[in-house]
Amino acid sequence: MALPLLGTFREDMASREEKTKRTNRVLRISQLDALELNKAVEQLVWAQFTQCFHGFKPGLLAHFEPEAKAVLWLFLWRFTIYSRNATVGQSVLNIQYKNDFSPKQRYQPPSKHQKLWYAVCTIGGTWLEERCYDLFRNRHLASFGKARQCVNVVVGLLKLGGLINFLIFLQRGKFATLTERLLGIRSAFCKPQSVREVGFEYMNRELLWHGFAEFLIFLLPLINMQKLKAKLSSWRIPLIGAPNGDSTLATSGKQCSLCGEWPTMPHTIGCEHIFCYYCVKSSLLFDMSFTCPKCGTEVHSLQPLKSGIEMSEVNAL
């Protein structure tokens, strides 16, 4: 009786440990978001720093730009990773670095050596790359050419290593950067995360309506609304019949068959109805197969109304 209970207890403990590991595992998207937040903070700090030299001679900051960036990043490193074991982006997302080389199961912060080497690899490496680029840019000696090739090869190998590390990170979810993998520090939650059940009904509904709205935005410009309206009007007139007043006005030249107002520069398209010149011309430019919305006659020729007829209609008023 005791053995089955003991086995059930062990299975329960194992399931709890597995659940705890899954809960405390930092998602890949959270680690990538932390890196993007770090880049945004660095850009913001550098933009504020360059504003201090706005009134000085142009190009003054370019002479010591790598050193200025190194000092600023070192200042950020001192009050983030060195003191709080986390970058600015990680602090926002409740993440901090953990010493992965430690054999203990409990959280162990990175050692001082790991923090110092982190500063050397990130800040020092970036400074060395920028300074070497500025140094070799205006040097054309053979010795400098060989040194520049060596630096380019080293930088290329590091970029390749970063790419391979990123592919491994996408598969396993640990060590988002090559520096983290080499130093043995990985992201971990500052506080244990609780399992949350998220309902996706609202999100699915929003995505459905958003996709439907995008479909309408793509489809509506392809529909000739004016032609569709004219077609519906031509179908409606035989069914319900046109009012006598409108028909009389349209055929007598006192009303534009498109806008319904007194025709300005009246023109005809080959039928008995009258149009404003701008109304019918814009309709023809928009739709080459334009037809009369009253009778459905196709455009044979756009001709102005004779002045005698127009003046007789005006005098009749």
- Residue 68 pLDDT > 80, yes or no? yes
pLDDT band, residue 161 (cuts 50/70/90): very high
Q: By mean pLDDT, which of 33-37, 107-111, 209-213, 272-276 is the weakest?
A: 272-276
136-149 per-position pLDDT tens digit: 766 655 566 677 78
Cα(138)–Cα(143) distance, integer angstroms: 13
- Residue 77 pLDDT > 90, yes or no? yes
List Cβ<8 Å contacts ≥24 apart for 42-51. 42/73, 42/76, 45/72, 45/76, 46/72
Cα(284)–Cα(270) distance, integer angstroms: 14
Question: What HEC string does 60-115 produce?
Answer: CHHHHHHHHHHHHHHHHHHHCHHHHCCCHHHHHCCEEEEECCCCCCCCCCCCHHHH
Cα(273)–Cα(247) distance, integer angstroms: 9
Among 50, 51, 49, 110, which Cα is nearest to 84's?
A: 110
Average pLDDT rounded to a whole number, residues 86-91: 91
Give me the numbers of helices (H) and strands (E) for the chain, helices first please.
14, 4
